DNA sequence: ATGTTATTGGAAAACGATTTCCGGAAAACA
DNA sequence: TGTTTTCCGGAAATCGTTTTCCAATAACAT
């Protein structure tokens, strides 16, 4: 295998000099830089990331922590977009990604998790969809031993950042739009998981709307479950005008129930997943660009790794109306979702 | 960080001895083993996989190569199950997994791909859904530089194995069942991608059925696309009794088209994805256990890495009839799909 | 007691980078 | 020309393992 040593010999310089050139250190003249770069090109040299990771505790190995707790297939789309966004951007920024599932952390205490991460020379974490009762993850963030970016959990300190969309505003807007379009006079709100950070935010959004419009609202806990949303709809929808759901999956469950009851109620969802096209009727929802969210999370993590301070980042969203025709048309456009992966590629 | 050196000191033995104990080498007495293991336990030692990977070109770092070419969201479910199966089992077998998307390999030649894999100290690959025209991947397998397991591509040599279900039989059976249940007299077959290995196999299965039953069959290329299946159904379904599709996504497209035309034709699919529950009518399909397939692929890769010879593995499948109620009921059962991840965990 | 053979444990050289520290040449100044 | 400062490049230690090779001890036969 062609190593940094071969490059050094070819360029007629020392190993350390090559390393300096590769990592953009100062104190290297343009001339030697040129020599080294030429040797790199001639030998087709690619640095061994494993050796780099071992040598400098700095070199970017990053863990992607996905939440598989929710068995619903709909989350697969979201998780895949998270992955695509993460890995695509990570390649660009020269970060290695190790994917971990939350289930692998079950029953582990802080010390064990830290040891595991260290054993993998991991210095940064991306945590997607952590809930309020994830004790170990909270400890992990508090300990500040790693650079961490959380998605959908607003926890910020010196070495960890948070990124999400404005949940409150998004829920407010999509509900308002749906209410207005249909001249609704009351709301049935099916809320998300009690222990999710987004749940309270979204609830506040729809509450603000209800107060502002001075209309009655019934709130029920749907736990992000299609089945529970279905049951709650059977039970309560007759009494209310508009069904606002904290997730698309619940919106689909609600819509199917309404169709089975053969009554009409406007329904809106949250997330913008493809499955919305298969609900039977079109619905408003909030489209989150999960690929972009993940991609920005990686950029932020890189910033933290480079010494930046933790911060809160709020990305934008989009109100959309989803229907079958659009969804299957979109399936044909290959580039859309994997787009980010095409840039970058293997080298640099 | 507690290293092998600390363990050696604690146990009063040499570093190499600790390594031997850890890796189950012979020529270590029971007594010293005990001492070392005790020291490991006392110090809570976890070997640094990065150092191990660097030192021995053997240490199990494995790449998971996913195909994101197809933009359809339905493949997300399959890919996530592949990932869950892979990572879950890999943790058990002490393999590190690096996830790669096919798009990252675009426009790379063999040499570049090999260099990339080497730079990551990767010794084994799991390739999911490779197509006949993936030139570099074929070269990679031929070169026999890495241990490779392909899923759904029957390529075997000394250092690579293949794993899939019996595509021909599965397609035959599900089509036969659907034909028989509905007393069909003719078939419209919507085939998959021309360059997919499974496509020809499945086609042969349905052809065998048509010959056996002596019934006419019209074959059209649906490219695994929901939209194309939809269009083909509008165009040809009136003339045939039963619509047999090479994938669930096409089956859904066909079913929607039939419902819009307001004519009834039995439709069957292939794969058993959740989306089938949202098609509007229940359909027969072939359920593949993707998690298990991936899990077995990892086991097989491990066997190759340990010096085994390449072989072909055929797993079983299941004929099922999918409907909405079952699908949303299944969503509630958390454990199902991530089940495999719960075993193993971080240690060992 | 001596010589031979297993058996076990240790010393040390990789693996391929990063990074610190230091010396020499060149540039700047008097 | 002599002295000081600046700038560059190289030698060598380090990261935490694996693995080879060798020495020491024990066990056995003679």
Cβ distance A136 to A127 under 8 Å?
no
Q: To which residue do tokens 């969203």 refer?
A: A317
And the tokens for A156? Answer: 């910020």
**Predicted TM-score of the model (pTM):** 0.90
Q: Give the best residue of A7, A76, A251 to mutate against chain B (max B CB count within 10 A).
A: A76
User: Does A240 have pLDDT greater than 90?
Assistant: yes
- 8 A C-beta contact, residue A215 and residue A245: no
Token pair 């010196």 is found at A158
CB-CB neighbors (< 8 A) of B101 in chain A? 84, 87-88, 338, 341
Mutating which of B343, B346, B347 best tests the A interface, going by the most A Cβ atoms within 10 A?
B346
The C-alpha angle with vertex B175 and arms to B174 and B181, in degrees rounded to 5, equals 90
Q: Is the pLDDT of residue A345 over 50?
A: no
- Closest Cα to residue A92, out of A298, A318, A262? A298
Question: Which residues interact with strand D by a CB < 7 Å criterion?
Answer: A 12-17, 26-29, 31-32, 51, 54-55, 119; B 1, 3-5, 15-16, 19-20, 22-23, 45-48, 51-52, 54-56, 58-59
Looking at chain A, the whole-number percentage of residues with pLDDT higher than 90 is 74
User: pLDDT by residue (tens digit) across B207-245?
Assistant: 999 999 999 999 999 999 999 999 999 999 999 999 999
Q: Give the gap in angstroms from C-alpha A213 to the nearest C-alpha of chain B.
A: 35
DSSP per residue over A170-222, as a string?
Answer: HHHHHHHHHHHHTT---EEEEE--TTBHHHHHHHHHHHHHHHHHT--EEEEE-
pLDDT for B174-186, tens place per residue? Answer: 999 999 999 999 9
Least confident of A7-11, A148-152, A175-179, B313-317: A7-11
D21 C1' to B311 CA distance, Å: 37
Domains of chain B, by residue range, sit at 1-45, 167-288+321-330
Can you give the pLDDT at residue A73? Answer: 65
The first and second tokens of residue A220, run together, are 């029920």
Q: In this structure, what token pair is assigned to residue B90?
A: 């890999």
- Tell me the chain B residues in contact with residue A103 when contact means C-beta distances shorter than 8 Å: 88, 338, 341-342
State the CATH class of domain A167-288+321-330.
alpha beta
Sheet holding B124-128, edge to edge: A312-315, A160-165, A147-151, A124-128, A61-66, A96-101, B96-101, B61-66, B124-128, B147-151, B160-165, B312-315
Q: Which one of 3.40.50.10860, 3.40.50.2020, 3.40.50.40, 1.10.260.40 gives the CATH number of domain B1-45?
A: 1.10.260.40
């Amino acid at each position: 295998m062609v190593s940094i040593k071969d490059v050094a010999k070819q360029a007629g310089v020392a190993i350390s000099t090559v390393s300096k050139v590769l990592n953009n250190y100062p104190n290297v003249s343009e001339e030697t830089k040129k020599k080294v770069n030429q040797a790199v090109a001639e030998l087709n040299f690619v640095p061994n990331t494993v050796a780099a990771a071992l040598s400098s505790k700095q070199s970017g190995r990053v863990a992607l922590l996905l939440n598989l707790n929710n068995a619903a297939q709909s989350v697969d789309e979201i998780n895949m977009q998270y992955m695509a966004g993460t890995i695509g951007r990570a390649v660009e920024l020269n970060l290695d990604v190790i994917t971990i599932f939350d289930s692998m952390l079950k029953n582990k205490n802080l010390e064990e998790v830290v040891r595991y991460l260290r054993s993998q020379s991991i210095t940064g974490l991306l945590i997607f969809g952590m809930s309020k009762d994830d004790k170990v993850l909270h400890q992990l963030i508090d300990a500040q031993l790693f650079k961490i970016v959380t998605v959908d959990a607003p926890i910020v300190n010196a070495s960890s950042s948070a990124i999400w969309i404005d949940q409150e505003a998004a829920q407010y807007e999509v509900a308002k739009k749906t209410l207005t379009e249909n001249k609704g006079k009351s709301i049935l709100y099916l809320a998300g998981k009690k222990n999710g950070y987004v749940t309270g935010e979204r609830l506040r959004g729809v509450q603000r709307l209800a107060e502002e419009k001075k209309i009655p609202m019934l709130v029920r806990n749907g736990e992000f479950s299609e089945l529970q949303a279905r049951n709650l709809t059977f039970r309560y929808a007759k009494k209310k005008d508009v069904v606002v759901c904290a997730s698309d999956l619940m919106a689909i469950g609600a819509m199917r129930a309404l169709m089975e009851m053969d009554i009409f109620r406007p329904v809106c969802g949250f997330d913008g997943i493809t499955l919305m096209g298969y609900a039977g009727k079109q619905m408003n929802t909030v489209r989150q660009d999960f690929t972009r969210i993940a991609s920005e999370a990686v950029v932020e993590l890189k910033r933290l790794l480079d010494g930046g301070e933790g911060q809160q980042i709020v990305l934008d969203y989009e109100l959309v109306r989803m229907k079958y025709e659009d969804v299957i048309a979109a399936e044909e456009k290959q580039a859309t979702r994997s787009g980010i992966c095409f840039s970058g590629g293997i080298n640099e």
